[in-house]
Structure 1
Amino acid sequence: MNQSILFPDIQAWDDGSQSVRFTAQQAGALIECSVTKQKLEQLSSSVIESEQVAIDVFVDYRFDLEEIAESLIEDEAFNSKGHIIIN
């Protein structure tokens, strides 16, 4: 893992985008990242029916999701708002 990109142990459900939001830190800059409910369902092979289940699945797959986010950050695959979206 690239030590210049850090992931604090903080995540939250965003009802509007139906995703779990988390943050990466690179060279002191905060980068907002999120993973969609659909991606979480794909990873877990289950249907996510609540906010808590989404958070639990995120925690279960945190390492894999952080690796995906790290690759996207390194590839500078930011959306128009400067965020990383895993979908």
Structure 2
Amino acid sequence: MNQNILFPDIQTWVAKRKAVIFPAQQAGQLIECVVSLEKLSEMTGYPIQEDKILLAFDALRFDLEDLAEEAIEDENFNLAGEVELG
């Protein structure tokens, strides 16, 4: 794990985007990481009900952080400066 990228234990479900947003911090810069409900369902192997989304996110946190770290290191940002994991 790259110690230059930190992931605070914060995540927010944004129903309008159908995604969980979680922050990463690199060299003092805050980077929003976005994982879609579809990606979470794909990773768990089953459809996730809206009231269980953050539980699914917590179960997948380390894998999601690894994916986000790789995307940040590759500078794979969208036009809003976010890292989208799917």
Which TM-score band (shorter chain)? over 0.9
Asked if 1:12 corresponds to 2:15, the answer is no
Give 1:16 deviation, angstroms.
1.0
Matches within 5 A, 1:30-69: 30-50=30-50, 52-69=51-68
% same residue = 48
What's 2:83 paired with? 84
CA distance in 2 between partners of 1:61 and 1:2 (Å): 18
Corresponding letter in the other structure for 1:22:
F
Rounded to whole Å, the distance in 2 between the matches of 1:59 and 1:12 is 11
Point out 4+ residue stretches in structure 1 off by more than 6 angstroms: none
Is there any run of 5+ residues in structure 1 with no aligned partner, and where? Answer: none
* Residue of structure 2 equivalent to 1:24: 24
| TM-score in terms of structure 2 length | 0.97
Taking the aligned partners of 1:64 and 1:34, their CA distance within structure 2 comes to: 13
Query: In the TM superposition, what is the alpha-carbon distance from 1:75 to its structure 2 partner?
Result: 0.3
Alignment partners' CA distance in 1, 2:16 and 2:77: 20
For 2:49 and 2:6, locate their aligned partners in 1 and report how far apart those are by CA, in whole Å: 30
Measure the CA separation in 2 of the matches of 1:16 and 1:22.
Answer: 15
Number of aligned residue pairs: give it: 86
Task: Give the distance between the partners of 1:14 and 1:85, measured in 2 at CA.
Answer: 14
Gaps of 5+ in 2: none
